[in-house]
Amino acid sequence: MSFKLKMEESAEKKDSSIVLALDQIPESKDPYRKSIEILEEVNPYICGLKINHQLVLPLGLFDGTRKIIEKAHNLGLPVIMDCKINDVGYTNRIIAENYFRAGFDSVIANPFVGWEDGLQPVFEVAEKMNRGVILLVYMSHKSAWEGYGQKVQNPNTNSIEMQYLVFAQKALMWNADGVIVGATYPEKIREVYRILGGKIPIYSPGVGVQGGDAKAAIDAGSQYLIVGRSITLSNNPKQSARLIRNSAKN
């Protein structure tokens, strides 16, 4: 089953568009155990899991991280590695192979490095191993405009366009399994959605702590919301996950 289909089935089964980001968990002597506790607690209200470097580093890729992935899979949740792949092709291929061998269903990659000798090897590995690739189109933080918001010359049309819109076009050309557009920028979600035409799902981080609104992102065209600190650092993660899940639907 493809990664896109896994996400769709999980979202339908859980009646949720929330992807839990285990990027920052409360300070703990045992980050693995705390991660498992949070995952089990909020599982009824999420449709996927995303893990970032800051959790992989202390746990180890083929040790604690793989155990968390296995737990998520047992709960029926697809797992995304937020590694923002952004190197030369040879290195990118090895990065992707290792994350996929650890059990990740998809990786996030940065289209700034281009296709040939850039992200092409990542897509080739993903196809061979039946995994997914999600492209960064517009990040959620305040200075995202410095890179993704630049005006550039589109090499295919020679016209001057916004960088993030060119990246959205590349997502279609490269047959990506998803794109990232920050929930903090619903107007950009709308622009990207018009280009993608619903063919590629939009994942939107930045809900809550960064100021993004769940309902506004969904209304603009996001299919999935990536939510981290608003849940993981909450005094009641289960309640917070339920409230955010419901706010995205109402």
Question: Which residues does the annotation mark as catalytic?
Answer: 84
Contact 245, 45 (CB under 8 A): yes
Q: Output the six-digit token pair for 96.
A: 């992707």
